[in-house]
Amino acid sequence: MNTLEVKIYYEDTDCGNVVYYANYLKYMERGRTEFLADHGFSVSELAAQGTMFVVARVEIDYRSSARLGEIIVVRTWVSEMTRTSILFGTTMTDKATDRLIAEATARLVCLDANGKIKRVPQDMIEKIK
């Protein structure tokens, strides 16, 4: 599991100082990127080697609102791997109170440099599982 702290800035919020709903997708992306980095994989290096991951499906349940000035904790893990995809789980909580803000899953599909589905690299499977 990877843990990432994100401070909520004015640019993240709407006119009510509540985080705009689509920004949670950005926090999830950061969490996945850091998860892979913690396991020895750079997203940009993978792409340069002809391995890319694209989001095929996201499910998110919003439980409460994050607000301006709060720090949220983004926890990311892999809940399933297939030959060609990885299913990431994510929770986002308020650091000060541990209040659940959102729960989500995102399925990423592995592609080659031409955009064709390919197998997840074996070394990635071994390091993540």
Active site residues: 14
Residue type, 101: I
CB 117, CB 107: distance < 8 Å: no
Place of tokens 């904790």: 73
- Beta-sheet strands, E only, within 18-120: 52-62, 71-81, 85-94, 100-111
Q: What are the CA-CA distances from residue 26 to residues 12, 32, 81, 113 (Å)?
A: 10, 10, 22, 24
The first and second tokens of residue 39, run together, are 């396991």
